Structure 1
Amino acid sequence: MAKTSDKNFWILFLLMLSGIVLGGFVGYAVRGMQYFTWLNYGQEFGFKNPIILNLGIMTITFGLKIKITLASILGVVISIFVYKKI
């Protein structure tokens, strides 16, 4: 028998996604402040150039770039904390 949980996975997913976005926004907003520059420390990875598929009548372009910063990690930690409290 599967264990049922009162909490929904999708709520956690949406909270974590919003934590990433808000954390990245906070890191971007404080990038010029002297004492908060450590929030933008992180790594960026993905495709250097997008992949282009030309089908004659249609062109499909695919590109992916992800930037993980300390601010976005803090946003995820806060979102998990909020999820456990609700």
Structure 2
Amino acid sequence: MKWKKNLLLILFLVGGIVIGSLLAAACKDVPFLSWLGFSQSIGISSQAPLVVDLSVFSLAFGLSANITVAHILCLILSVFGYKAAAKRF
């Protein structure tokens, strides 16, 4: 039963991310909604990755996330949606 709730949470979070991306892309060119598309990139850039050179081989690590205001709002709404849906289980 617990795995169903975890799966439901993951489903809601992924849905919030996808809807947030669509919302940010759609509102980017609308003047009074352009603030939803404001983004900040965090992490280790793929243009300047963290490189570990061990002389036999090299490892390059890079991870970056681009977060918009729409992502944050949709993730908050998806958590509230999850809490409402989880009560039914």
Query: Is TM more than 0.5 here?
Result: yes
Match of 1:31 among 28, 39, 43: 28
Q: TM-score, normalized by length of structure 2?
A: 0.68
Alignment of 1:1-86 (within 5 A): 8-48=5-45, 49-50=48-49, 62-86=61-85
Task: Report the identity percentage.
Answer: 32
Structure 1: give runs of 5+ residues left out of the alignment: none
Structure 2: give runs of 5+ residues left out of the alignment: none
Please give the alpha-carbon distance, in whole angstroms, between the structure 2 residues aligned to 1:52 and 1:35: 42
Instruction: Compute the displacement of 1:62 (Å).
Output: 4.5
SS of residue paired to 1:68: strand
RMSD over aligned Cα atoms: 2.7
Shift in CA distance, 77/61, structure 1 to aligned 2, threshold 3 Å: same
Please give the alpha-carbon distance, in whole angstroms, between the structure 2 residues aligned to 1:13 and 1:61: 29
User: Structure 1 or 2: larger helix share?
Assistant: 2
The range that moved more, 59-68 or 21-30, is 59-68
- Number of aligned residues: 83
Q: TM-score, normalized by length of structure 1?
A: 0.70
